[in-house]
């Protein structure tokens, strides 16, 4: 069973590698104002029954990476209670990139679903 569990974890990790950036950019593209990490995490949680798909702690490195490559920008603002918060918004590069990512996502999704739903063959 160990090799199966390993293979399952590896797949989840690889799939998340691509999709987490897509989801974050997608959320921030639709945001009407800059959002901070916890807000984004709550919004994603509300859209999925499986809390393991994108754990809150996993969002932060992806947000930083998206900012480092110029797809997001951020500003730190003081909060009424607690420590200051970093608010993220999508950049123009981010929007252009997202449009391409969505195309790639849709093509990949169609291929995967076609293969998984296809009949038997040889």
Residue whose C-alpha is closest to residue 77's, from 89, 67, 65: 89
| Residue 35 neighbours by CB distance under 10 Å | 22
| 16 sits near a second copy (criterion: CB under 8 A) | yes
The token duo for 22 is 């897509």
With CB under 8 A as the contact rule, the residue among 47, 61, 75, 79 that binds a second copy is 47
Residue whose C-alpha is closest to residue 15's, from 58, 49, 56, 76: 58
CA–CA gap between residue 90 and residue 88 (Å, rounded): 7
Query: Closest distance between a second copy and the C-beta of residue 80, in Å?
Result: 17
Query: Closest distance between a second copy and the C-beta of residue 84, in Å?
Result: 19
| 73 sits near a second copy (criterion: CB under 8 A) | no
| 58 sits near a second copy (criterion: CB under 8 A) | no
Tell me the number of residues near a second copy by CB under 8 A: 57
With CB under 8 A as the contact rule, the residue among 41, 44, 63, 72 that binds a second copy is 44
């Amino acid at each position: 069973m160990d090799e199966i569990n390993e293979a399952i974890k590896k797949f989840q990790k690889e799939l998340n590698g691509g999709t987490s950036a897509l989801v974050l950019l997608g959320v921030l593209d639709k945001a009407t104002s800059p959002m901070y990490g916890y807000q984004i995490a709550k919004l994603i949680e509300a859209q999925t029954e499986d809390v393991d798909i994108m754990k809150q702690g996993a969002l932060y490195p992806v947000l930083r990476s998206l900012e480092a490559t110029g797809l997001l920008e951020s500003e730190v603002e003081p909060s009424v209670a607690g420590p200051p918060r970093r608010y993220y918004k999508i950049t123009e590069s981010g929007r252009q990139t997202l449009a391409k990512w969505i195309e790639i996502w849709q093509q990949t999704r169609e291929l995967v679903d076609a293969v998984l739903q296809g009949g038997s063959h040889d």
